[in-house]
Amino acid sequence: MTTTQLDQHQPGSVVAARATGLTKTYGHGESAVHALRDVDLALLEGRFTAIMGPSGSGKSTLMHCLAGLDAATAGTVEVAGRELSGLDDTALTLFRREHIGFVFQAFNLLPMLTARQNILLPLELSGVKVDRDHFDEVTAMLGITDRLGHLPSELSGGQQQRVAIARALVAQPDVVFADEPTGNLDSDSSAEVLGHLRRSVKERGMTVVMVTHELEAAAYADDVVVIRDGRVDAHLIEPSQDQLVAVLRRKVA
Ligand SMILES: Nc1ncnc2c1ncn2[C@@H]1O[C@H](COP(=O)(O)OP(=O)(O)OP(=O)(O)O)[C@@H](O)[C@H]1O
């Protein structure tokens, strides 16, 4: 595994999400699929991390386990200092609502609600009072202030994804997980959305973990985790484009 020493790089950094001995096996016996094999990984607060790797290598499984959407076969996941395996379904749902934000490839906005209503829905569901200043700051940062009264169908794909990002950020989660957030966008909208995710890390101190197939998308991240065959092959801290390409190529060879 290729890893720049995190402790040397950022002394005193806080771990936002940690996997220890994380193993996920689908099925049994000869038909068992080992999606994750004994993964140890620490993702630091205030970093933008891309997860890359070949199709079927375990990226989505890793993200789903880290986000508490899928239970591991063995090992532990800790988010914001809390071990998820000790939580029952209700506690896990509440924990996710409070501590974890999600951005999906398909935006997942409710079509009958305006952008503003979509952004506020999770807070309303959890009975949390809206911090108006924070709402205004987040929507301004994402450049959607003048689109808030519109339905998703009246917005471009890039605008819809920015609304989905606002929905994730407005609850001030500890970690935002983004699953191929630009998979449905053209290159201009992708650049815009990735730029906004990066700003949320740099300007608002968010922690973002993004699964992506695209080298152009990974270039917006600080760090890149490369997964292959259910294992962490490399955890690259601020790699250059050349370093990243070399590691990805090496894995394919
Ligand atoms: N529900 C499931 N049942 C059985 N096997 C599964 C299930 N989900 C994933 N797998 C298998 O686990 C392995 C890892 O899948 P995963 O979706 O995590 O990979 P990925 O790297 O995200 O792939 P892609 O880039 O194609 O989305 C694959 O072999 C996949 O077929």
Give the CATH number for residue 179: 3.40.50.300
Across 223-250, average pLDDT: 93
Q: Which atom of ligand 1 is nearest to the CA of 58?
A: 18
Q: Whose CA is nearest to atom 14 of ligand 1?
A: 58
Q: Backbone phi, then psi, for 186, in 5-degree steps?
A: -75, 175
Summarised one tens digit per residue, pLDDT across range 166-207 is 999 998 899 999 999 998 888 888 898 899 899 989 988 999
Work out the average pLDDT over 35-41.
97
The set of residues, in sequence order, having a beta carbon less than 8 Å from that of 192 and lying 6+ positions away, is 158, 162
How sure is the predictor about 3, in pLDDT bands with cuts at 50, 70 and 90?
A: low
Identify whether 5 is part of a domain: no
- Show the ligand 1 pocket: residues with CB < 6 angstroms: 26, 33, 35, 53, 55-61
- Any domain includes 1: no
Which residue's CA lies nearest to atom 31 of ligand 1? 56
Buried b (16+ CB within 10 A) or exposed e, 67-93: bbbbebeebebbbbeeebeeeeeeebe
Full DSSP string of 10-56: STTPPEEEEEEEEEEEES-GGG-EEEEEEEEEEEETT-EEEEE-STT
Q: Domain for residue 33, yes or no? A: yes
Total number of domains constituting the chain: 1
Structural contact between residues 35 and 70, judged by C-beta atoms closer than 8 angstroms:
no
3 within domain boundaries: no
Domain that holds residue 101: 14-252
Nearest residue (by CA) to ligand 1, atom 7, is 26
Is 2 among the domain residues?
Answer: no
Atom 1 in ligand 1: residue holding the nearest Cα: 26
| ipTM of model | 0.97
Q: Which of 172, 100, 104, 189 is nearest to 137 (CA)?
A: 172
User: Is 244 inside any structural domain?
Assistant: yes
Q: How far apart are CA 123 and CA 227, in angstroms?
A: 34
Ligand 1 centroid to residue 155 C-alpha, Å: 32
Q: Which of 24, 25, 36, 59 to mutate to test the pocket of ligand 1 (most atoms within 8 A of CB)?
A: 59
Distance in Å, CA 54 to ligand 1 centroid? 11
Residue 157 within a domain: yes
In a domain, 93, yes or no: yes
pLDDT higher than 90, residue 235:
yes
Mean pLDDT, residues 107-134: 92
Average pLDDT over residues 212-221: 94
Please give the pLDDT value at position 8: 41
Confidence (pLDDT) at 112: 97
What pLDDT sits at residue 6?
Answer: 45
- For residue 229, give every residue at least 6 positions away whose Cβ sits within 8 Å of its Cβ, in sequence order, or none: 34, 37, 57, 58
* Residue-level pLDDT at 249: 86
